[in-house]
Chains A and B, each alone.
Chain A
Amino acid sequence: MLGFFARRLLYMIPTMFLVSIVTFVIIQLPPGDYLDTLAAELNDSGGLDEGTMQALRDQYGLGQPMYVQYYKWISGILFEGNFGISFEKNVPVNDLIWDRLGWTFGISIMTLLFIWITALPIGIYSAVRKYSVGDYVATFFGFVGLAVPNFLLALVMMYVAFKYFGQSVGGLVSPEYLDAPWTWDKYVDLFKHIWMPIVVVGTSGAAALIRIMRANLLDELYRPYVVTARAKGMSEFQLLLRYPVRVALNPFVSTIGWILPTLVSGEIIVAVVMNLPTTGPLLLRALLVQDMYLAGSLILIVSLLTVVGTLISDLLLAWIDPRIRYQ
Chain B
Amino acid sequence: MTKVDTNPVDAPALLGPWQLMWRKFRRHRIAYFSLWLVGLIYFMALTGGFLAPQDPDETNRRGIFAPPQGIHFFAADETGETRFQLHAKSLVMQIDQSTMRRSYEPHEDKIVPLGFFVKGYEYKLFGFIPSTRHFFGPVDPDHKVNFLGADRLGRDILSRIVLGTQVSMSIGLVGVIVSLLIGVSLGGLSGYYGGWIDTLIQRLIEFIRSIPTIPLWMGLAAAIPLGWPPLRTYFVVTLIVSMIGWTGLAREVRGKFLSLRNEDFIIAARLDGLTDWEVIWKHMVPSFSSHIIASLTLAVPLMILAETSLSFLGIGLQPPIISWGTLLKEAQNIRTIIEAPWLLIAPGSMIVIAVLALNFLGDGLRDAADPNAH
Binds B, one of A45-53, A109-117, A263-271, A318-326: A263-271
Contact: A155 with B356, CB < 8 Å?
no
Q: Please encode chain B, from 291 to 316, with 1 for each CB lying within 8 Å of some chain A CB and 0 for all others.
A: 00000000001000100110011110
Which residues of A from 201 to 234 have beta carbons under 8 Å from B? Answer: none
Contact: A272 with B313, CB < 8 Å?
yes
Given contacts A147-B301, A159-B337, contact A287 B359 (CB under 8 A): no
Counting CB contacts under 8 A, is A295 at the interface?
Answer: yes
**A170: B residues at CB distance < 8 A:** 334
Counting CB contacts under 8 A, is A152 at the interface?
Answer: yes
Q: Please encode chain B, from 325 to 362, with 1 for each CB lying within 8 Å of some chain A CB and 0 for all others.
A: 00010011010011001001000100110011001100
Counting CB contacts under 8 A, is B320 at the interface?
Answer: no
A115 to chain B, nearest CB (A): 16
Contact: A310 with B309, CB < 8 Å?
no
Bound Cα distance from A147 to B214, whole angstroms:
17
Contact: B212 with A156, CB < 8 Å?
no
**A159: B residues at CB distance < 8 A:** 334, 337-338, 341, 344
Contact: B215 with A299, CB < 8 Å?
yes
Q: Would you call the interface of chain B mostly helix, strand, loop, or mixed?
A: helix
A205 to chain B, nearest CB (A): 13
Contact: A19 with B209, CB < 8 Å?
no
Counting CB contacts under 8 A, is B207 at the interface?
Answer: yes
Binds B, one of A174-182, A188-196, A237-245, A300-308: A300-308
Bound Cα distance from A18 to B222, whole angstroms:
21
Given contacts A30-B225, A149-B308, A149-B309, contact A155 B344 (CB under 8 A): yes
Counting CB contacts under 8 A, is B274 at the interface?
Answer: no
Counting CB contacts under 8 A, is B216 at the interface?
Answer: yes
**B9: A residues at CB distance < 8 A:** none
Contact: B332 with A273, CB < 8 Å?
yes
**B359: A residues at CB distance < 8 A:** 143, 146-147
Q: A307 contacts which of B211, B218, B308 (Cβ < 8 Å)?
A: B211
Contact: A149 with B351, CB < 8 Å?
yes
Given contacts A29-B223, A268-B215, contact A151 B309 (CB under 8 A): yes
Contact: B209 with A261, CB < 8 Å?
yes
Which residues of A from 283 to 314 have beta carbons under 8 Å from B? Answer: 283-284, 287-288, 290, 295, 298-299, 302-303, 306-307, 310
**B223: A residues at CB distance < 8 A:** 26, 29-30
| Contacts A19-B211, A31-B225, A151-B309 known; 12 new A-B pairs at CB < 8 A | A15-B207, A29-B223, A30-B223, A147-B352, A149-B305, A149-B309, A152-B348, A155-B328, A159-B334, A261-B211, A262-B213, A268-B218
Counting CB contacts under 8 A, is A278 at the interface?
Answer: no
B164 to chain A, nearest CB (A): 15
Q: A169 contacts which of B213, B332, B334 (Cβ < 8 Å)?
A: B334
Q: B356 contacts which of A143, A158, A302 (Cβ < 8 Å)?
A: A143
Q: A306 contacts which of B212, B218, B301, B338 (Cβ < 8 Å)?
A: B212
Given contacts A15-B207, A29-B220, A288-B315, contact A155 B212 (CB under 8 A): no
Most buried by B among A262, A266, A287: A287
A253 to chain B, nearest CB (A): 16
Bound Cα distance from A132 to B351, whole angstroms:
29
Contact: B334 with A284, CB < 8 Å?
no
Given contacts A273-B332, A303-B212, contact A295 B348 (CB under 8 A): no
Q: B337 contacts which of A15, A155, A261, A290 (Cβ < 8 Å)?
A: A155
Q: B218 contacts which of A257, A261, A284 (Cβ < 8 Å)?
A: A284
Bound Cα distance from A266 to B309, whole angstroms:
10
**Top 4 A-B pairs ranked by shortest CB distance?**
A265-B214, A29-B223, A26-B219, A287-B222
B202 to chain A, nearest CB (A): 12
Q: Contact size class for A?
A: 35 or more
Counting CB contacts under 8 A, is B82 at the interface?
Answer: no
Counting CB contacts under 8 A, is B262 at the interface?
Answer: no
A40 to chain B, nearest CB (A): 11
**B328: A residues at CB distance < 8 A:** 151-152, 155
- Give the nearest-CB partner of B358 in chain A: A147
Contact: A303 with B211, CB < 8 Å?
yes
Counting CB contacts under 8 A, is B6 at the interface?
Answer: no
Counting CB contacts under 8 A, is B210 at the interface?
Answer: yes
- Give the nearest-CB partner of A162 in chain B: B334
A-B pairs with beta carbons under 8 Å apart, 26 shown: A15-B210, A18-B207, A23-B219, A26-B219, A26-B220, A27-B219, A30-B223, A147-B356, A149-B308, A152-B351, A155-B344, A155-B348, A162-B338, A163-B338, A170-B334, A262-B212, A265-B214, A272-B313, A283-B215, A283-B218, A284-B218, A284-B315, A295-B219, A306-B210, A306-B212, A307-B210
Counting CB contacts under 8 A, is A258 at the interface?
Answer: yes
- Give the nearest-CB partner of A305 in chain B: B212
**A155: B residues at CB distance < 8 A:** 328, 331, 334, 337, 344, 348
Counting CB contacts under 8 A, is A247 at the interface?
Answer: no
Bound Cα distance from A62 to B267, whole angstroms:
58
**A162: B residues at CB distance < 8 A:** 334, 338
Bound Cα distance from A143 to B216, whole angstroms:
27
Bound Cα distance from A149 to B354, whole angstroms:
12
Q: Please encode chain A, from 134 to 154, with 1 for each CB lying within 8 Å of some chain B CB and 0 for all others.
A: 000000000110111111100
Bound Cα distance from A268 to B209, whole angstroms:
17
Bound Cα distance from A298 to B219, whole angstroms:
11
**B225: A residues at CB distance < 8 A:** 30-31
Bound Cα distance from A22 to B220, whole angstroms:
10
**A268: B residues at CB distance < 8 A:** 212, 214-215, 218
Which residues of B from 202 to 256 have beta carbons under 8 Å from A? Answer: 207, 209-216, 218-220, 222-223, 225
Given contacts A147-B301, A288-B222, contact A265 B308 (CB under 8 A): no
- Give the nearest-CB partner of B357 in chain A: A147
Contact: B212 with A264, CB < 8 Å?
yes
Bound Cα distance from A272 to B309, whole angstroms:
11
Q: Please encode chain B, from 76 to 90, with 1 for each CB lying within 8 Å of some chain A CB and 0 for all others.
A: 000000000000000
- Give the nearest-CB partner of A279 in chain B: B215
**B207: A residues at CB distance < 8 A:** 15, 18-19
Contact: A156 with B360, CB < 8 Å?
no
Q: A147 contacts which of B220, B337, B355 (Cβ < 8 Å)?
A: B355
